[in-house]
Structure 1
Amino acid sequence: MNRPVRPLLAGLRCYGLEFWYFGIKQARACLFAGLFFTAMFSLPREGLFGVPRYDVLLLVALAIQGWMVWSGLESRDELKAVCLFHVIGFALEVFKTSSGIRSWAYPDFAWSKLLGVPLFSGFMYAAIGSYMIQAWRLLDLRIRHHPPYWMSALLALLIYTNFYTHHTIGDYRWHLAAATLGLYARTTVIFHPYDRPRSMPLLLSFVLIGFFIWLAENMGTFFGLWRYPNQIGAWAHVHVGKWSSWSMLVIMTLTIVASLKGIRERVHVAAE
């Protein structure tokens, strides 16, 4: 992406302007997530006009997604990736809410429930993918010293598998976290808030994104969209351990996004 040349700024004015543009670009990257989660937190529990809340949320998510593609804010290829995130997330939701697991539950009635899970739930995962795709373009992201793709893909697969298998063979989350630290220790992400590149450790971005997702999950359970077993009698905050789960899921999301056409070209892969 060719950016217009601007005179370099210095001092506090430079940092203030960069922070301002960074915030604007982040807000723009969160467009789908922001609109969707606003609807999640503002809809009354009884729904609208006799339509259950979960069904209204599904219609809202489809409308936002359709508008973004129609307006050119998202390409059809990017839509395919977002749909993949929806499928991956929905499959996980079905497993986690199944009778033998019941990690959490969706208590309200809906016509659009499939296997006990409302279809809108997959869009919560799609929102993460949409954010990452948009941020990559708007901030002109580049990654330095990315691990070899076969390693990152294997790690992403193991992370996703662990969400299923930790109920039977044990939770290896912290083993995978240690592998992540080793694999991405040298990896940095370069971004452009305004007129010059800035960088940060990619591991830090995993932690920060996971934290904000954890906050959104707390809000979702507070408004009763879904509940964990310890929230049946009265609301309680989502266990902080979920923060690590979301951070790990962001790694899997990055692996998928980085495989999109036109993005892998801006990833410097470490020599094997």
Structure 2
Amino acid sequence: MNNAHRKRMQPSDYLYHLLNQGDDTESAKTETHQKALNLREQYSVSFDIALIAETQAEAQRLADQILELPKAYFPESITCLDRHRFSAHGLDEPWPEQQFDELHFFCSSPDQLPPASHLDRLAAIIHVHHLAPCMAQAYPGYRSYLWCTEQALCDFWASLYLAREMQSIPGLNWNSYPTWQLPEHCIGQAATSWGSTPNAAIDSLLAQAGHTRLTTTVDAILVIEGNCDMSISDYFDLLILLEAKIKCDIAPTGWVAPEYSGYGLKLLTFGPLKDQS
């Protein structure tokens, strides 16, 4: 077997050799990426997302941070989150009247959450965010989270929404996302890592997440960030390595970009409040 056949096959190799797509493996990769962008532009579904904080200015700042991440990896000519429409609102202004697909409420204290009658009429999916060192609280019917920093919060949601926008990596059933119910008395907490190889990315992620969280987690979402050269075997390596340590099902998703280097992982785990640390 010659050296040309010894190399690990990439998705673009299959597209070129088996489907005769492109003039060579590199053009097959470029053509596939462009077709994915064209397909995304054909989607008719859009998502209206409200961000509510203590002030409208604070909510707008958080929305701007979420929109900032895609600019680092995609040309300015591409509007990466054009199907996600964000609007910022504050408790210092009249309550919104329109209906949203999702609502993010940024809670600075446990007693700040508005009455359920106010929130429930605005959106079917309600996320309640707490920032450490504040203690997070689980609310029935809502999805509650504890974040180590504001930047970690914004980076995760930017990456997750980019995954929904791009539809690059399979796994998470987005049709079930709106109806998924968070297990009672559980909150979400994220761990983030990067590595030059799948093993390095997973090792860093496991060290950050910690043994207790991984063994008490009842649900998890993994967002994978990678280059367009990421292979199918890389994808399965990441999942196999993580599933060997975590004691629940993992819903993977993610996105790829030509300018991304290495492997980025964002793991959102849901577990009992008493075990979050």
| TM-score for both structures, normalised by structure 2 | 0.28
Q: Which has the higher strand share?
A: 2
Pick 1 or 2: higher relative contact order, CA cutoff 8 A, min separation 6. Answer: 1
Q: Which has the higher helix share?
A: 1
